[in-house]
Amino acid sequence: MGAYGLVRINMELLPHAHSIFSPWLMLLRSIQIIYAASTSLGIGSISDTGLNRAILQIISHGFIGAALFFLAGTGYDRLRLLYLEQMGGMAIPMPKIFTVFMTKILIIFLNTIGIILTPIYSLSMLRQMFYGYKLFNTPNSYCSNDSIFLSL
């Protein structure tokens, strides 16, 4: 329905606006193609995991879309402004939503640190498991300190 509305209404009634917004529409269409392809790939995989992934993606897409519309509507109801330049900031007029948003950003930051530190820990654990605890302190007959210095 959305593509039909763009062709029928946007191109015929508003040709100048369509020519201005067409690059943004092409970007939006590309994102929609990727989303639809990943969803149909999950459905077409004929497995429980793929179908569950596709259903989860469809449901999360609906929840995220509804949440973003809720935030936009709440922001407009509280501020009565449409443009971000006129708002000046959300912390003072909407402190609870701002607190929730900053808490989410803090959680994402901590998760990112965990994602970075997890492979470091697991690789050091595997190194100790396969090569022993004292990897560089044991003398080897095939490797002396001079050859290590020259190889660096």
pLDDT on residue 112: 93
82 & 95 share domain: no
75 & 110 share domain: no
23 & 72 share domain: yes
pLDDT tens per residue, range 42-84: 777 778 888 888 888 888 888 988 988 998 888 888 888 888 7
In the chain, how many domains are there?
2
pLDDT on residue 48: 83
- Size (the chain), residues: 152
pLDDT on residue 108: 92
- Asked whether 10 and 3 are in contact (CB, 8 A), the reply is no
The rounded distance, in Å, linking the Cα atoms of 28 and 36 is 12
Q: Which range marks the domain in which residue 110 is found?
A: 90-152
Q: Could you tell me what percent of the chain has a pLDDT over 90?
A: 14
6 & 70 share domain: yes
- Asked whether 78 and 93 are in contact (CB, 8 A), the reply is yes
pLDDT on residue 138: 56
84 & 95 share domain: no
Residues of the chain with pLDDT under 50: none
78 & 145 share domain: no
